[in-house]
């Protein structure tokens, strides 16, 4: 097989993703069972159908929540990167100004000597 070796960080992210999905499925099934437990008038087939739909909706909501969280994380990363870039530019400008002042001071001292 011509598969590329997987980066350890990517591999761990993949595992974490699968674990999150499995946990969401379990949470969805548990929530569906709790919900249908109060509906004692449902037949077994109806209960299974309601639980299946409930779990699917739960997973849809979880996915939407994860996507909003990921988007917000990207926005924050972009904001922090921009702030960091501006701070680097200011520091560089301050260093240049300091070097220019040192050079000017050196020239003045040489001229006075």
3-state secondary structure 10-43: HHHHHHHHHHHHHHHHHHHHHHHHHHHHCCCCCC
Using CA atoms, how far residue 107 sits from 68, 98, 99, 101, 104, in Å, is 58, 14, 12, 10, 5
Three-state DSSP class for residue 3: coil
- Higher-confidence position of 7 and 97: 97
pLDDT in tens, 47-90: 999 999 999 999 999 999 999 999 999 999 999 999 999 999 99
pTM over cut 0.75: no
pLDDT digits (tens, 9 = 90+) for 93-112: 999 999 999 999 988 888 88
User: Is the pLDDT reported for residue 1 higher than 60?
Assistant: no
């Amino acid at each position: 097989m011509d598969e590329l070796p997987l980066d350890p960080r990517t591999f761990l992210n993949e595992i974490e993703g699968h674990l999150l999905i499995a946990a969401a499925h379990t949470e969805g099934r548990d929530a569906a069972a709790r919900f249908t437990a109060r509906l004692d008038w449902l037949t077994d087939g109806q209960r299974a159908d309601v639980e299946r739909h409930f779990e699917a909706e739960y997973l849809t909501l979880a996915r939407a929540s994860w996507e909003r969280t990921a988007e917000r994380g990207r926005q924050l990363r972009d904001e922090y990167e921009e702030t960091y870039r501006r701070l680097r530019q200011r520091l560089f400008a301050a260093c240049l100004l300091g070097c220019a002042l040192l050079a000017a001071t050196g020239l003045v001292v040489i001229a006075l000597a």
